[in-house]
A and B are shown apart, each in its own frame.
Chain A
Amino acid sequence: MKDLKTLYKYEKLLEDANNELVRQASSEGRKCVGNVCFQIPEPLLNLDGIFSVRLRAPRIGGMGMGTYYMTSFLCEYTRALLERAIEGGYEFLDCLIAPDGCTMINRCVENMELLKINSKEDFFYKYLEVPMKEDENGLNLYVSQCKEKILEPLHEKYGCDISDAALRKAVENFNKVCRIITELGEYRKAEFPKITGTEFHLITMATYVCPHDLILPLLEETLEEVKAREPDSPKDFAKKYRARVVLAGSEIDDVDCVALIEESGALVVADRFCYGSLPGRQQIILNDKEDALTQICRHYLYSCQCPRHFNIDAIKKRRAYIAKLATDYSADGVIVEQMKFCDPWAYERATNTYTLREEYKIPVLSVDRPYNVGKSGQLRTRVQAFVESLEIKKIQSKKGEEK
């Protein structure tokens, strides 16, 4: 396959949290809303005059200060964010809205607040109580919290239009991004996909950290490029990839992670993790019968795949979702990953591994990983061994069929 011409632009955008498009939007007088979790509905942060950036800490080095404030037992994502914040890397933000999702992200943002990491005078923090169960009571809470903690402050501080019509427009713009990402993602279902998991991850990730309207032309260009692209020949494909996998688990914003897995012979055909497209880049379909805010919240509540949703139905649904992705994308196995020291995913990884293997009969590789995998030999070896085991399974099942 030819290289994607636009790919280097995404790589460039991902090198810095305050990237070129963020700077452009800020220079136009738009306010930048920082966000740290899927559970803060993105369309609400992308109204007229504002745009959202989901926080990352690209090219982070040591995490000494983050570790001092939060100890080495907290996940590296939160420590990296705090480190970057203390370094002054989030001065470009105008506010930060975080959910009390997991304890660690909550503490991370609280430390930022206490350490006054942003010197802007009208900078503000909001912490959302987001529901832990999928039911109508939870939906009511979600709606009221979004009003109280997101919409009203944005209206008061920045004069944002928070009418139903404005929310519908924001959803429409959000959907434009989602449609392109979904269309690109569909190509991964093909036997010889026109796009790799690494490329797709970079493109998807960029949509979380750039103003949607500004990245849209680039996405459209990429889509056209991919449409016209010739996939690898079966021979070339077989040289590079020996198995297809679903990558499922906790937050991945590391540009090297998917690349390392693919270099080890496993093509990542579906991305079920935070910063991935499933379910983060699925369109929100609105009707005219109900107000937009309730519908947006319902979409986020019921599509959320976070392990903190702890009712039995949600737990089962999450596992069934991964299994369905494996089927839909013709995956040979699933890699269940967990950011080291993440409590919710610590349990979810263990139980997912067991359930997918025992109940769904899907081969699983279960790994924990640091925030930046870099060129981790350990992870590479684990993936290579998994790929080999998948190949052996294929050979054995072929032999079985022949008999």
Chain B
Amino acid sequence: MGAKLGSEQLGKLYTTGKTRRRREWRGFRDTFYDFSRWLSIMGMLTRFLAKPHNLKAFFRYRWMSNYVAVPSMIDRHTVGLRGKHLRIAHLEYDLVAKDVAGLLNNAFKSDRRCGNDKKLSQKCVILDENEMFAIMCGFPNLKAVSWETAAVYANVLLNGAGVTHYLDVIQEMGVPGDVCPMPAAEAGVVIDDDFPIYGCCAISCNTTCDGSLMGNTIMDKRYEGLGIPTFQIAAPLRHTEKGVQEYAAQENRNAIKFIEEKTGEKWDWDYYFACMKRFNEENRLRKEWMEISRTMYPQVIDANLTLYGETAYMAVAGRAQAFVDVDRKITKLARKAYENKELVCKEYRHRALIWGVQAQYYTDFLPWLQNCWGILPLVDMLSCVYLGQYSETDKEQAMYDLAKIYQEMIMRNRTHGGYEVLLDDMFKFVDYYNCDMVILWEHISCKALDGMHGMFEQRAREKGVKLVWVNHDLMDPRIVPRQNLRDDINRYMRSIMREEPVDPSLEVIDDTNAW
């Protein structure tokens, strides 16, 4: 126990209950810092619940109770970290928590069942959880509010079993259990009538997969019944082809026109370009973090890269200066740590590319990889998005940029677009990041990934790449419990690699009931 990396057996912190035995001791300075951030998050939660509409929502919506686990979720993702890496992680998660709190506050304040602020509701546009929010960059007076993000996406991060009830609901309705649980859970929330009702219109999108597309049809039908009109953006699937770009741009023009008609607001070019300027800077900075990961001293890696990226890239998309400010701070810390050759964890044994769709109920699997086996999760598929620059002045080009953003949103840029972007690119990234191992998430209900299963193996054998499958069911830990994910790695490391864990206490943990 102390300031030194790996000075404590982390597995001993686990109990069989929801929470851990105690907070991790990281030496006085880091523990004090970490505890102060914990207090700050608790303060934010208290202030959030002090608002009557939020308190009412807390008791109205079944999934809201999981939000008491926010501090625990941050603890899970900062486990084992010290010094600058601990600060980088807190900068990220604390801001994400604040952003989600803002989202929830808007949702409940305008919710017909809670705050019922009609004026605010008229300014809210509902967006998909898996959808880029960039279309809202042209509407400074409107609020993009995605209840799906709060009720499903973030909820499972807080409590791994947070949406199992909704999966049961949708299956009772007749949807089979083999479809992707994320859109299924979202549809389940709708069928269960457990979502805040607000908004002047909705923009849905054919995001990552057929399941997501079809889940939207249930939501859109419900919105219609509630008098909330919906526009469906049909972004092309073969997004790398020139021939589809005009169609894609026109879809966005039509969506903008729809928002203008329904809200009475006008697309604001100045605001859009200001957002793109921020977005571009964020992309430049994120690219720098990922470039550092090519070296022997990676700094911004694992879930800290993925989860923060998902919020900043997808849900914010340059609309908030706070994210740029934090990005700058992170870059400064990462540069310094790199210069000092600081390590993220105790021992570096393998450099891994994480590919496929992550287990949403176990995103802290990546810190586990580095702490238990010394496997560095350098970069993951969801972070491998287009990080180039978008036009900050050209209005004509902007529509094509927006089209590109929508076509190549997180995950979608790999699940659609042909095997080239999923299969071929994986091996390109293996070379680019000097990886000796690929951890391939086998999200068992993800048809896009499953459909390439054999070719991944075949190609890996041909190229001599160590490929480890990790099976999961995205949002349903009842199907594949967390320990099964760990066992996939444990088996491989012991049987194939003939290695002993860096921290043996983490190899088998009873966290079935943990948040």
* Chain A residues packing against B (C-beta within 8 Å): 68-71, 73-74, 78, 100, 102-104, 106-108, 110-111, 113-114, 127, 129, 131-133, 137-138, 140-141, 144-145, 148, 307-308, 310-312, 315, 338, 340-341, 343-344, 346-351, 353-354, 366, 368
Chain A neighbourhood of B234, CB < 8 A: 131-133, 138, 310-311
Contact B450 A102 (CB under 8 A): no
Q: Is B174 among interface residues, defined by CB-CB distance under 8 A?
A: yes
Chain B neighbourhood of A70, CB < 8 A: 450-454
Partner of A110, one of B220, B419, B450: B419
Chain B window 421-444, contacts with chain A (Cβ cutoff 8 Å), 1 for yes, 0 for no:
001000000000000000000001
Contact A310 B213 (CB under 8 A): yes
* Chain B residues packing against A (C-beta within 8 Å): 173-176, 178-180, 187, 206, 209-211, 213-218, 220-221, 224, 230, 232, 234, 236-238, 241, 243-244, 246-247, 250-251, 254, 415-416, 418-419, 423, 444-445, 447-448, 450-455
Question: Can you list 12 A-B pairs, Cβ within 8 angstroms, ordered by A?
Answer: A70-B452, A100-B237, A103-B416, A107-B452, A108-B451, A131-B247, A144-B247, A307-B214, A315-B221, A343-B211, A343-B214, A346-B176
Q: Given A70-B454, A71-B450, A312-B224, decide whether A133 and B217 contact each other with a Cβ distance below 8 A.
A: no
Contact A71 B251 (CB under 8 A): no
Name which of A71, A74, A103 has the most chain B CB atoms within 10 A of its CB.
A103
Chain B neighbourhood of A100, CB < 8 A: 237-238, 416
Contact B447 A343 (CB under 8 A): yes
Contact A137 B217 (CB under 8 A): no
Contact A346 B178 (CB under 8 A): yes
Interface of A, helix, strand, loop or mixed by DSSP: helix
Chain B neighbourhood of A69, CB < 8 A: 453-455
Chain A neighbourhood of B237, CB < 8 A: 100, 106, 129
Contact A74 B251 (CB under 8 A): no
Interface of B, helix, strand, loop or mixed by DSSP: helix
What is the number of contacts between chain A and chain B, taking CB atoms within 8 Å?
A: 157
Instruction: Give 7 closest A-B pairs by Cβ, nearest first.
Output: A107-B451, A69-B454, A347-B214, A350-B174, A343-B210, A141-B247, A71-B450
Chain A neighbourhood of B241, CB < 8 A: 129
Chain A neighbourhood of B418, CB < 8 A: 106, 110, 127
- Closest Cβ of chain B to A107, distance in Å, is 3
Contact B179 A343 (CB under 8 A): yes
- Closest Cβ of chain B to A164, distance in Å, is 21
Partner of A344, one of B214, B254, B416, B445: B214
Q: Given A74-B451, A100-B237, A104-B451, decide whether A341 and B178 contact each other with a Cβ distance below 8 A.
A: yes
A68–B461 Cα gap in the complex (Å)? 15
Contact A132 B206 (CB under 8 A): yes
Contact A129 B243 (CB under 8 A): yes
Given contacts A78-B451, A104-B451, 12 further A-B contacts (CB under 8 A): A68-B453, A71-B450, A73-B447, A103-B210, A110-B418, A114-B455, A129-B241, A144-B243, A148-B243, A310-B216, A343-B179, A343-B210
A144–B451 Cα gap in the complex (Å)? 28
A151–B423 Cα gap in the complex (Å)? 29
Partner of B175, one of A71, A307, A341, A350: A350
- Closest Cβ of chain A to B283, distance in Å, is 26
Q: Whose C-beta in chain A lies nearest to the C-beta of B238?
A: A129
A346–B180 Cα gap in the complex (Å)? 11
Contact B174 A137 (CB under 8 A): no
Partner of A351, one of B178, B218, B451, B455: B218
Contact B209 A103 (CB under 8 A): yes
Q: Given A137-B254, A366-B174, decide whether A343 and B236 contact each other with a Cβ distance below 8 A.
A: no
Chain A neighbourhood of B246, CB < 8 A: 140
Chain B neighbourhood of A308, CB < 8 A: 210, 213
Contact B217 A351 (CB under 8 A): yes
